[in-house]
Chain A
Amino acid sequence: DSGVTQTPKHLITATGQRVTLRCSPRSGDLSVYWYQQSLDQGLQFLIHYYNGEERAKGNILERFSAQQFPDLHSELNLSSLELGDSALYFCASSLTGTSGRNEQFFGPGTRLTVL
């Protein structure tokens, strides 16, 4: 158990809908990272928040957004969902925002299925 929690575990929805994925980092960690993993794309970095502020963006679509709250939990919002958004979404946390040498601990993921 990494100490990172994600809810829900599974999510099934229809095209065009909007969903929110939630992540609670390990106790004491200030950084939260979101990743998307699909069979043909591997693990793709989406976005990084540190202590409530956005630090870096990766391959995140404009239909997707995220935020980190004062209690350090984070939410990833996915809107106007398409079939291709079906994937595993992982959250990871680390102690600081200095990602060059920082170890990331991953949650169990949310499996999103868009029908």
Chain B
Amino acid sequence: TQLLEQSPQFLSIQEGENLTVYCNSSSVFSSLQWYRQEPGEGPVLLVTVVTGGEVKKLKRLTFQFGDARKDSSLHITAAQPGDTGLYLCAGGKNYGQNFVFGPGTRLSVLP
């Protein structure tokens, strides 16, 4: 049983389109992180959100943490081929418990 679910599993879009991917759980997390991973490489941390309702922007990427701290979304505006990759969310709980990773959303942005 996945503690974190991500949707959609796969997404293929044209350059310039907007998209949103989701990370959902029935558990409450003290923080949630988003990573992007390219084939054969390690995940790269994009953002950490810690407060319910928090919104963070990173250029064309907008991250939101749900009010109840059980879910999060990542919105990309005007996607570019360089955004292609596997987007992973990871939920962290308090001291003594480790991060749980979702299965990821594999995004392909076509030129």
Please tell me which one of the listed residues A55, A100, A106 contacts residue B44 in the complex, with CB atoms under 8 A apart.
Answer: A106
| Contact, CB under 8 Å: A103 / B45 | yes
Q: In the complex, how many residue pairs between chain A and chain B have their CB atoms under 8 Å apart?
A: 71
Q: How many Å lie between the Cα of A45 and that of B43 in the bound state? A: 14
Q: How many Å lie between the Cα of A88 and that of B50 in the bound state? A: 29
Known: A100-B31, A101-B48, A103-B33. A109 touches B41 (CB 8 A): yes
Q: How many Å lie between the Cα of A109 and that of B45 in the bound state? A: 15
Please tell me which one of the listed residues A48, A55, A101, A108 contacts residue B41 in the complex, with CB atoms under 8 A apart.
Answer: A108
| Contact, CB under 8 Å: A107 / B42 | yes
| Contact, CB under 8 Å: B101 / A108 | no
Q: How many Å lie between the Cα of A101 and that of B30 in the bound state? A: 7
Query: In chain A between 46 and 85, which residues have their CB closer than 8 angstroms to a CB of chain B?
Result: 48, 55-56, 58
What per-residue 1/0 map shows which CB atoms of A75-99 lie under 8 Å from chain B?
0000000000000101010000111
Tell me the nearest residue of chain A to B92, going by C-beta: A100
A2: CB under 8 A from chain B?
Answer: yes
What per-residue 1/0 map shows which CB atoms of A20-57 lie under 8 Å from chain B?
00000000000001010000001111001000000110
Q: How many Å lie between the Cα of A88 and that of B86 in the bound state? A: 15
Q: Which residues of A contact B97 (CB under 8 A)?
A: 56, 99-100
| Contact, CB under 8 Å: A33 / B98 | yes
Tell me the nearest residue of chain B to A6, going by C-beta: B42
| Contact, CB under 8 Å: B96 / A56 | yes
| Contact, CB under 8 Å: B45 / A42 | no
Query: How far is the CB of A89 from the nearest CB of chain B, in Å?
Result: 10
Q: Which residues of B contact A56 (CB under 8 A)?
A: 96-98
Q: How many Å lie between the Cα of A56 and that of B92 in the bound state? A: 13
What per-residue 1/0 map shows which CB atoms of B75-111 lie under 8 Å from chain A?
0000000000000101011111111111110000000
| Contact, CB under 8 Å: A102 / B92 | yes
| Contact, CB under 8 Å: B42 / A90 | yes
| Contact, CB under 8 Å: A99 / B98 | yes
Query: In chain B between 43 and 88, which residues have their CB closer than 8 angstroms to a CB of chain A?
Result: 43-45, 48, 50, 88
| Contact, CB under 8 Å: A45 / B100 | yes
Q: Which residues of A contact B30 (CB under 8 A)?
A: 100-101
